[in-house]
Structure 1
Amino acid sequence: MIVFNEDGCIKCGACEGTCPTSAIAVKPDTIIHCDTCGEEPKCADVCPQGALKAEEYEIADGVTQIRLVFNSVLCDSCGKCEEVCPQETLKVTGEKLKEVEGFCVMCQKCVDICPVDVIGIPGVKEPAEYELDLKGKGPVFIDDCVGCGTCVDDCPVSAITLEEVGSPITVNDDCIRCGLCSQTCPWNAIFISEKIPVKRSKEITSFTFDSAKCIGCNTCVEACPGDFISANSASLTVAIPSVCAACGLCAKLCPVDALDINVEWGEGAPVDAEGIGRDVEKCDFIGACANKCPTEAIRVVTKTGMSCPALVETDGEPSFVSCIRCGACASMCSNDALKVEQYEVTIDGEAVTRDRIAFNPSKCDQCGDCIEACPYDMIHETENPKLPIAGFCTLCGQCIQACPEDALCYK
């Protein structure tokens, strides 16, 4: 049985790409794979033709495992195996000689290719342990950055700098804690507001090697963080993989441009993609939402030049700014007075969980670290001893109820 330590998985997709039977699917937030149903595979039990069979397989000296064997000649594509598969990896393809896919044959290719060794086989090779303590690491934490620069271009505020390919990135004070860099990083090297990111999907559309240009320097071999590239000393060339983490470090460091890689990325999910949504077309900058918010987490400048909730006149243009629950304030709070919590809201009749900021005034020592950390200048001191700081969104929804234009909603 193949096992995964998902805590350490970098979602590179190498295991999925190398699996000969399509028994692994790497999703942005999880891994789906055939686990042979605890060595009692249901697909083999229900197959009326005996096309799928479970057999004992000696995987190491004295160690046997159950594997699945498929006989295409016997398969009539009835689909019973697909119906009972608890992992939903089994699929009837209708393709000749490969009528069914998604079953594990224990070939161990996924184990061999994993660059962070988090795939294993109990009793043979245990998956690597992965311990990452983000507590106290602050709004931006960079850990063993390989300097591939994949995150640089995607930063919406150009807050990330890569001085030299292969050297760690730096993040400046313009960072808005949106989290796109963390979702994009192929090697789990950057974390925003102490959160484990849901990775963006990606697909290598092309990865080419021009042997005529290669000078056999092995720069790419030595640079690849996952050891995906191997040297061919006989011909002074290299062998590139069909699947990898897609960081492109090899291509960027190649002195003769013999490598070229193109990657198609899925959409990211910035922290403000979920929570309170605002319909810009409906918003009339009335300020009722800001005046109703119990924690002053919204600021509105009305069309009449009134700043809400302060209720002071200003010459600023009509505007709307709110806490997006990025968690930067909570990541800097040494007393746990501020925390990011999961909260259940209803969207289109369905209950979903969203991040909210929770505040315990009794733990607050008014150090001001949260104020400095807030990238939107929302957190501020108050004169209310029961609420010494304000500006954080608890996702209470009072702003939604107060808006006369129905411009706000949960999303």
Structure 2
Amino acid sequence: MIVFNEDGCIKCGACEGTCPTSAIDVTPNAIIHCDTCGEEPKCADACPQGALKVEMFEIAEGIEQARLVFNSVLCDQCGKCEEVCPQETLKVTGEKLKEVEGFCVMCQKCVDICPVDVIGIPGVVEPAEYELDLKGKGPVYIKDCVGCGTCVEPCPVNAITLDEVGSPVTVSDDCIRCGLCSQTCPWNAIYIAEKVPVKRTKEIESFTFDSAKCIGCNTCVEACPGDFISANSATLTVAIPSVCAACGLCVKLCPVDALEINVEWGEGAPVDAEGIGRDVEKCDFIGACANKCPTEAIRVVTKTGMLCPALEEVGGEPSFTSCIRCGACASMCSNDALKVEQYELTIDGESVTRDRISFNPSKCDQCGDCIEACPYDMLHKSDNPKLPIAGFCTLCGQCMEACPEDALCYK
């Protein structure tokens, strides 16, 4: 049985791409794969024609494991295997000689190709263990950055700099903790506000190699963090993979531009994409939401230049700023007075969970670290002993109730 240690998975999709029977599906949230139902495959039991069968296979000396074998001649495409598959990897394709796909044949190609060795076979090849402790790492944590620079372009505020390809990136104080860099990083090297990100989807549209340009320097072979590229000493060229992490480090370092990669990226999900949304067209900058918020997590400058909730005359253009629950404050709080918690909401009849900020005033020593970490300058000290620190959003919804224009909603 193939097993995955998802904690260390970089979601590169190499295992999915190399699987000859399409038995692996790498999603931003999980790895879905045929696990042969604990060596008692339900698909084989359900197949009335015996097209899918269980076979004991010697995977190593003295070690046998169950695998699935498929006989195309016997398959009548009834779909019973697809119906009973608990992982939903089995699919009836209708293609000749490949009428069914999604079952594991224990070929071990996924084990061999994994660049971080998190795929294994119990008793034969144990998957690598990864202990990721983000506690105390702060709002921005960079770990083992390979310097590919993939995170630079997605940053909406140009806060990430790559001084030299192959050297770690740096993140400036302009960072707004949106998390897009972390979602994009092919090697799990950057974390925002102590959160493990949901990765963006990606697809390699093309990855080409011009052998006529190649000078056999093997720079790409040595640079590839996942050992995807191999040298061909007989021809002084290299062999590029059909699937990889798509970081493009090899392309950037190739001295003769012999490599080219084109990657189609899926949409990212900035931290403010979920929680409380504002309809800009409806918002009239009245300030009722800011005045109602019990934690002063909204700041509005009205059309008359009044700052709410402070009720001070500041002038300037109307504006709306709010806590986006990025968690930067919680990542800096050494006393756990501020925490990021999961909160259950009902949106359009569907139950969903969203991040909220919780605060325990009895643990707060007003050190101010959270205030410095807040990228939107929302956090501030308060004279209220029950709320010594204010400016964080708890998703209580009182702002929505107060808005006379219905400009705010859960999203």
TM-score past 0.5 threshold:
yes
Match of 1:154 in 2: 154
* 2:360 corresponds to: 360
Partner of 2:253: 253
| Pair 1:265-2:265 in alignment | yes
Shift of 1:314: 1.7
State the partner residue of 1:36: 36
Residue 397 in structure 1 maps to residue 397 in structure 2:
yes
Cα distance in 2, alignment partners of residues 349 and 87 from structure 1: 27
Equivalent positions of 1:126-165 (< 5 A) are 126-165=126-165
Equivalence for 2:377: 377
Counterpart CA distance in 2 for 1:93 and 1:304 is 64
Q: Tell me, in whole angstroms, the C-alpha distance in 1 between the residues paired with 2:93 and 2:110.
A: 22
Distance apart, 1:305 and its partner CA? 1.6
Partner of 2:310: 310
Task: Note if 1:18 corresponds to 2:18.
Answer: yes
Answer yes or no: is 1:92 the counterpart of 2:101. Answer: no
State the AA in 2 paired with 1:21.
T
Is the Cα contact below 8 Å between 2:143 and 2:189 reproduced in 1? yes
The residue number in structure 1 matching 2:319 is: 319
- Measure, in 1, the Cα distance between the counterparts of 2:326 and 2:316: 26
Matched, 1:77 2:77: yes
Alpha-carbon offset, residue 313 of structure 1: 1.4
Q: Distance in 2 between matches of 1:68 and 1:405?
A: 60
Residue in 2 aligned with 1:338?
A: 338
In the alignment, the residues of structure 2 paired with residue 94 and residue 307 of structure 1 have an alpha-carbon distance, to the nearest angstrom, of 65
| Residue identity matched to 1:371 | I
Q: Which residue matches 1:170?
A: 170
| CA distances 1:206-242 after superposition (whole Å, capped 9, x unpaired) | 0000001100000000000000000011110000001
- 1:227 and 2:227 matched: yes
Deviation string 1:301-331 (CA, Å, 9 cap, x unpaired) is: 1112211100111212111000000000000
Partner of 1:212: 212
Task: Output the CA distance in 2 between the equivalents of 1:197 and 1:167.
Answer: 22
SS in 2 for 1:399: helix
User: Which residue identity is paired with 1:235?
Assistant: T
Q: Distance in 2 between matches of 1:147 and 1:120?
A: 28
Residue by residue over 1:244-294, the C-alpha shift from the partner in whole angstroms, topping out at 9 and shown as x without a partner, is: 000000010000000000100000000000000001111111111100000
Q: Which amino acid aligns with 2:121?
A: I
Shift of 1:385: 1.2
> For the residues of structure 2 that align with 1:92 and 1:401, how far apart are their CA atoms?
50
User: Does the CA-based 8 Å contact 2:134-2:194 persist in structure 1?
Assistant: yes
Alignment-mate amino acid for residue 22 of structure 1: S
Aligned counterparts of 2:315 and 2:27: Cα–Cα separation in 1: 49
Could you tell which deviates more after superposition, 304-313 or 316-325? 304-313
**Cα distance in 1 between the residues matched to 2:150 and 2:116:** 19
> Structure 2 counterpart of 1:377, which letter?
D
Residue-by-residue CA offset, 1:17-70 (whole Å, 9 max, x unaligned): 000000000000100000000100000001011110011000000100100000
Cα distance in 1 for residues equivalent to 2:291 and 2:351:
28
The residue type equivalent to 2:244 in the other structure is C
Give distance in 1, aligned partners of 2:174 and 2:305.
28
Please state how far the C-alpha of 1:386 moved relative to its aligned partner: 1.3
Whichever residue aligns with residue 155 of structure 1, its letter is C
Is the partner of 2:221 in helix, strand or coil?
Answer: helix
Distance 1:77 1:261 in 2: 38
Letter in 1 for 2:281: E
Q: Deviations over 1:61-106 (max 9, x none)?
A: 0100100000111111100000000000000000111000000000
Aligned residues: 411
1:8 is aligned to 8
Alignment partners' CA distance in 1, 2:48 and 2:281: 59
Please state how far the C-alpha of 1:338 moved relative to its aligned partner.
0.4
Q: Alpha carbon RMSD of aligned pairs, Å?
A: 0.5
Q: Distance in 1 between matches of 2:6 and 2:127?
A: 10
Contact 2:304–2:315 (8 Å) recurs in 1: no
CA distance in 1, matches of 2:408, 2:374: 23
Contact 2:288 2:399 in 1 (8 A): yes
* Letter in structure 1 aligned against 2:345: V
SS at match of 2:295: coil
Is the 8 Å Cα contact of residues 213 and 258 (structure 2) preserved in structure 1? yes
Structure 1 SS opposite 2:57: strand
SS in 2 for 1:290: helix
Match of 1:386 in 2: 386
SS in 1 for 2:370: helix
Distance 1:213 1:71 in 2: 45
Q: Distance in 2 between matches of 1:391 and 1:316?
A: 22
Distance 2:318 2:261 in 1: 45
Partners of 1:84 and 1:39 lie apart in 2 by 15
Deviation track 1:135-171 (CA, whole Å, cap 9, x = no partner) reads: 0000000000000000001100000000000000000
**CA distance in structure 2 between the aligned counterparts of 1:40 and 1:289, rounded to whole angstroms:** 58
Distance of 1:139 and 1:252 partners within structure 2: 29
Extract unaligned runs of 5+ from structure 2. none
Q: Match for 1:75: what amino acid?
A: C
Structure 1 stretch displaced more, 245-254 or 305-314: 305-314
